[in-house]
């Protein structure tokens, strides 16, 4: 397979709309989809083993890899979706008026296009890096009618892709829920209750978000 090259004169990172703009656009598109009664699909992409790559080759190479993914997603998906930098090495792509199955196929195409050897120049040396990416796909209204629900389902699908071997795309699915137990201290439960009231969210939503963050921390 041909090695695709990112030369030393490339920008350190590709500038794209960030987290705040993408979450606001998601909320707007969710409302538009509800009014028009059309599907809205959401895909989260995350580079596999990015932490290890940063540790072994350095942050400069890691920044180049983030740039590569942004450029690759824009090349593969920009005509069908809207590409955002979600944070760190993660990107979000919104697909207005797109069914989940179609978004899955497009995500698979983008994953394949990115998952090739890349040559990255850093410190006067060329590093050939085998890169792969995992992705999670969710769609409204099937997987949620609120932006926080859709994001959570998309994150859950992404983590499942990571845990089941990486370099794959997983669809959101119906979840089996468990109840709160005595594993939490009284102080933790009281704090959770205050936070839920302050943010206007269900306690279960906050617990799932915390678990998602924990899984992502140790499985990225």
The CATH number assigned to the domain holding 220 equals 1.10.1220
User: What is the phi/psi pair of residue 165, to 5°?
Assistant: 130, -15
Q: Report the pLDDT value the prediction gives residue 201, as an integer from 0 to 100.
A: 72
Range of the domain at 218: 176-220
> Does 79 lie in the same domain as 53?
yes
Q: Say if residues 134 and 45 touch (Cβ distance below 8 Å).
A: yes
- Distant-in-sequence, close-in-space partners of 112: CB < 8 Å, separation ≥ 6: none
pLDDT at 122: 77
Residues 48 and 148 in one domain: yes
Shared domain check, 199 and 91: no
Q: What is the pLDDT of residue 102?
A: 95
- CA nearest neighbour of 204 among 218, 193, 213, 215: 193
User: For position 74, which CATH number holds?
Assistant: 3.30.70.270
Same domain, 117 and 214: no
* pTM for the whole structure: 0.74
Beta strands in the chain (DSSP E): 4-6, 40-47, 82-87, 90-96, 117-122, 125-130, 133-140, 169-171
Q: In the prediction, which pLDDT does 3 show? A: 42
Number of domains present in the structure of the chain: 2
Q: Are residues 184 and 169 in the same domain?
A: no
189 and 128 within one domain: no
Residue where a domain stops, chosen among 137, 154, 174 = 174
The number of angstroms, rounded, from the C-alpha of 18 to the middle of its chain's C-alpha atoms is: 13
Q: Are 127 and 65 in contact (CB under 8 A)?
A: no
Are 154 and 212 found together in one domain? no
Residue 77 is predicted with a pLDDT of 92
pLDDT, residue 5, reads: 43
Please tell me the predicted confidence (pLDDT) of residue 193.
Answer: 82
Quote the pLDDT of residue 174: 63
| Claim to verify: residue 168 and residue 183 sit in the same structural domain | no
- Asked if 65 and 9 sit in the same domain, the reply is yes
pLDDT by 10-residue block (mean), the chain, 220 residues: 38 59 89 92 96 90 92 90 90 95 96 94 86 96 92 94 95 64 68 82 75 70
134 and 30 share a domain?
yes
Does one domain contain both 48 and 155? yes
**59 and 150, same domain (yes or no):** yes
């Amino acid at each position: 397979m041909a090695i695709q090259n990112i030369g030393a004169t490339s920008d350190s990172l590709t500038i794209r709309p960030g987290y705040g703009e993408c979450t606001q656009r998601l909320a707007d598109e969710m409302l538009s989809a509800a009014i028009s009664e059309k599907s809205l699909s959401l895909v989260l992409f995350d580079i596999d083993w990015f932490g290890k790559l940063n540790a072994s080759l350095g942050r400069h190479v890691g920044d180049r890899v983030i740039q590569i993914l942004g450029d690759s997603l824009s090349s593969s998906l920009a005509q069908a979706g809207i590409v955002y930098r979600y944070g760190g090495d993660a990107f979000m792509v919104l697909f207005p008026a797109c069914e989940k199955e179609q978004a899955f196929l497009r995500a698979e195409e983008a994953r394949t296009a990115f998952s090739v050897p890349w040559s990255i120049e850093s410190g006067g040396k060329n590093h050939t890096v085998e890169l792969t990416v995992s992705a999670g796909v969710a769609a409204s209204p099937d997987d949620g009618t609120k932006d926080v629900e859709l994001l959570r389902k998309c994150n859950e699908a992404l983590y499942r892709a990571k845990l089941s071997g990486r370099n794959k795309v997983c669809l959101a699915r119906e979840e089996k829920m468990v109840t709160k137990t005595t594993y939490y201290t009284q102080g933790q439960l009281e704090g959770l209750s205050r936070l839920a009231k302050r943010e206007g969210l269900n306690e279960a939503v906050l617990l799932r978000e915390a678990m998602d963050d924990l899984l992502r921390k140790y499985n990225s």
